[in-house]
Amino acid sequence: MAYTSIIDWITGVYSQHGWADPIQANPYYPFGDAYNLPYDIGMKLWNIIGGAIAWLLDLLFPGNDVSTWLVCDMTNNIFALVLFMVLVFAIVFVACLISLWEERKVLGRGMDRRGTMIGMWGFLQCVADGLKTFMKDNVFSKKVDGMTYWWTVALIIGTSVLIDCMVPLSPRWFVVNYDAGLLIIMGLYALAPFFILVSGWSQNNKYSLIGGIRAAEMMISYEVPLLIIIATAALLAGSLNINDIVMAQTKHFWYVIPMFVGFVTFMICATAESERAPFDLAEAESELVEGWQTEYGGMKWGLIMLADYLRGACSCGIIVLLFFGGWNLPFMEWTYFLGDGIASFHQNFMWWFPAPELTFLLKAWLVFFVMIAIRLGTGRVRTDTILNLGWKVFMPLSILNLVIVLIFKLFIGGVF
């Protein structure tokens, strides 16, 4: 096909199927029959960028093969996936910065002060702190075990970013849609305490080692109740697929009602797993200098703090998905108003309005507000108290929650 204008280069790859349809037009579409909004945005961005570059190259060097390669199906798919990942991470990163800003403002008000005030409502303080840590020197002890010292912190940060990106914001905003999606997320989530233990050992520092051991203790104490409650929610919905769990709540009612005991237990256990106060024993600065983070400074420390907030945001997202209907409002499914699938784009421009995504994020920030209130109103818990709570309180409560759900399923099964 001969392209004569920049518009032809941008829309030429969709000349047979229509520019707005990524599923039908792209034989390499990676999400099956499910419409994926960030991928579609990435595809359209690359059509514009790649088409403009191809047009310019063809204008300078008529008939060259590079221009044709830039707009072929495979190239479009590769760069669409790259832009898809950049877009998903950008949204997760901004949402994490908003969580950090929320905590600073709420803690400030709780301490009878205004909190951070730099920039727009104090939001730029988060950006300034990030830039400050990136500008510091890369200093580390000569006595650390080099391989584990670097690899463990990289894995902690990497898994934290991955699990937060894997939490779906809506049925059209997701990275994976596996039937065992919850188990995959929780499996990656559970790796961080192990990495923290190895990282504490690698620093050749007694305070770091004690912090790593404390992290392992919390993992042992709180992972089991968390998994029991997740299995209970899956039992109630009849699936481990996140979308199925959300739709089951929309069809009936939010699971916080029959699983209130499980919600309270999950909330506290998730706070502990995120190493947030009052369960931040692994990095207790009043006892262990900075715990397992003692030998990490500058950019490394800044990225570790970002990973902590990413794990906290992931915990809030999982709570919203399991107990508060995910991206839907009570007894209302957003696709009823916005349409369902790419066909809705032609019939209803409101399909582009991010109502389900904003609903999910607002719920998650509300749950994070509760975590902040817990931090504000409680003191740090002792190590033996954490172990006793995990095994003697939350484990029985998670089993009690399972029994309650089984009773609901057996005697009021028609409701579900």
Give me the amino acid identity at 225: P
Q: Domain check: are 82 and 146 in the same one?
A: no
Q: Domain check: are 14 and 78 in the same one?
A: yes
| Intervals of the chain under pLDDT 50 | 13-18, 336, 342-347, 349, 414
Q: Domain check: are 405 and 297 in the same one?
A: yes
Q: Domain check: are 269 and 327 in the same one?
A: yes
Query: What is the 8-class DSSP label of residue 394?
Result: I
What count of other Cβ atoms lies within 10 Å of the Cβ of residue 215? Answer: 24
Residue 116 lies in a domain: no
Q: What is the pLDDT of residue 24?
A: 60
Q: What is the pLDDT of residue 359?
A: 92
Q: Domain check: are 64 and 144 in the same one?
A: no
pLDDT digits (tens, 9 = 90+) for 145-156: 878 888 888 898
Residue 66 lies in a domain: yes
Q: Domain check: are 319 and 399 in the same one?
A: yes
Q: What is the pLDDT of residue 228?
A: 93
SS3 for 289?
coil
Residues in Cβ contact with 143 at an 8 Å cutoff, skipping those fewer than 6 apart: 204
Above pLDDT 90, what percent of the chain?
25
Residue 312 lies in a domain: yes
Q: What is the pLDDT of residue 259?
A: 93
Residue 145's alpha-carbon distances to 150, 151, 241, 290, in angstroms, are: 9, 10, 40, 19
Q: Domain check: are 366 and 222 in the same one?
A: yes
Among 51, 69, 86, give the residue marking a domain's end.
86
Number of domains making up the chain: 2
Q: What is the pLDDT of residue 66?
A: 87
Q: Domain check: are 140 and 81 in the same one?
A: no
Q: Domain check: are 166 and 225 in the same one?
A: yes
SS3 for 178?
coil
Residue 352 lies in a domain: yes
Q: What is the pLDDT of residue 117?
A: 81
Residue 10 lies in a domain: yes
- The span from the CA of 207 to the CA of 288, in Å, is 5
Residue 148 lies in a domain: yes
What does pLDDT average to over the chain? 82
Residue 288's alpha-carbon distances to 80, 156, 212, 302, in angstroms, are: 46, 20, 11, 19
Q: Domain check: are 211 and 345 in the same one?
A: yes
Backbone angles phi, psi at 229, to 5 degrees: -70, -40
**Domain with 40 in it:** 6-86
Residue 400 lies in a domain: yes
Residue 68's alpha-carbon distances to 9, 229, 232, in angstroms, are: 9, 53, 53
Residue 50 lies in a domain: yes
For 20, counting Cβ atoms within 10 Å of its Cβ (0-12 exposed, 13-18 middle, 19+ buried), the class is: middle
Query: What is the 8-class DSSP label of residue 241?
Result: -
Q: Domain check: are 168 and 80 in the same one?
A: no
Q: What is the pLDDT of residue 94?
A: 93
Q: Are 264 and 398 in contact (CB under 8 A)?
A: no
Among 63, 86, 109, give the residue marking a domain's end.
86
Q: Domain check: are 80 and 181 in the same one?
A: no
